[in-house]
Amino acid sequence: MTKLFNRWLPCATLSAWGAILLAFYFSGKIAHFLHPTFRPGVLIAGCAMLVLAASFAFLPGVAGCCDDENCGHPLGRMTFGRVLTFLILLIPIATAAMFSPKNFGATTIANRGVITDAQGLTARAPQATQSTSIEPPLPTKDGSQPAPEQAAAADQLLPKSAEGNVKVAVIDLLYAAQDPSLRADFENKKVELIGQLMPDNVSNASGNRFKLVRMFMVCCAADARPVAALIESDKKTDAAEMSWIKVVGTATFPIESGRPIAVVKADSVAVVDPPEETMLY
């Protein structure tokens, strides 16, 4: 019995883990949990585990441990203990694979704190050394407004929809709010962007604003943080909270609470299907 368990339990464990990793990868569910750079590692790990499982299945088993009472593994001396060890290794990852949600819920997003200022994505400096300026100019920019011909050339490089609207992501507008040169690329232009609808309970005195939220990921779901642009609309939308919507409107950067923020004055708000990549990177 010891030799049987020594040969087949490692094989079953590696097979299960490898199959679950490959299922995450080929089903596309991995896109909700991991940055694209690291996804090939999941494929490689899954394949490697299956290869190792095959080696346990076709090569003779070695029962060099846990075959006598002198073994230092208490659970390994009992059949029940070996099965329990197998289940401990398998059940958590199998449960996560079957029942983990594909998207962050409204409660999770609210608990992580919705960021509407790009400075919130960086570590805060100590209070005594904080600068009063919003952000220093980028290394290749002096913070001045571009010449008209430069602005026209930059406009040609911006991705646009078939209707001629500038296609942007929420994070683009947040960074633009912090840098005058970037702001000039979007300010007072028709833009379109996609995100999830959440109410704005902070800067909504007039009652006509809501947040357009996306999750910004650096490495994996553990470090994903919600970022949002504010949407200002004269018409009340019928879209449900956390539904995916496409907003078309004019990008503005008003000064509020002493700093510029990104506000899109919406011309239209429409419910759409989630994008293929729900995360921003």
Which residue, among 97, 39, 20, has the nearest Cα to 217 in the 3D structure? 39
85-103 pLDDT, tens digit each: 777 777 877 777 777 776 7
101-139 pLDDT, tens digit each: 767 778 888 888 888 887 777 643 333 333 333 333 343
Write down all domains in the chain, each with its CATH number in brackets: 2-99 (no CATH), 106-122+150-280 (2.40.50.140)
What's CA 38's distance to the chain center, in Å? 13
Task: State the pLDDT at residue 155.
Answer: 59
Task: State the pLDDT at residue 258.
Answer: 84
Confidence of residue 247 (pLDDT cuts 50, 70, 90): very high
| Most confident option among 36-45, 61-70, 138-147, 228-237 | 36-45
Q: Provide CB contacts within 8 A for 217, sequence distance 6+.
A: 35, 223, 224, 279, 280, 281
| Most confident option among 147-161, 200-214, 265-279 | 265-279
The alpha carbon torsion through 79, 84, 89, 95 (nearest 10 deg) reads: 140
Asked whether residue 150 carries a pLDDT value surpassing 80, the answer given is: no
Asked whether residue 215 carries a pLDDT value surpassing 50, the answer given is: yes
DSSP annotation of 69: T
Classify strands 225-232 and 263-271 as parallel, antiparallel or unpaired: parallel
Confidence of residue 153 (pLDDT cuts 50, 70, 90): low
The percentage of residues in the chain with a pLDDT greater than 70, rounded to a whole number, is: 75
The alpha carbon torsion through 13, 15, 17, 18 (nearest 10 deg) reads: 150
Residue 37, number of CB atoms within 10 A of its CB: 9
Which residue, among 228, 264, 226, has the nearest Cα to 247 in the 3D structure? 264
- Supply the pTM of this predicted model: 0.70
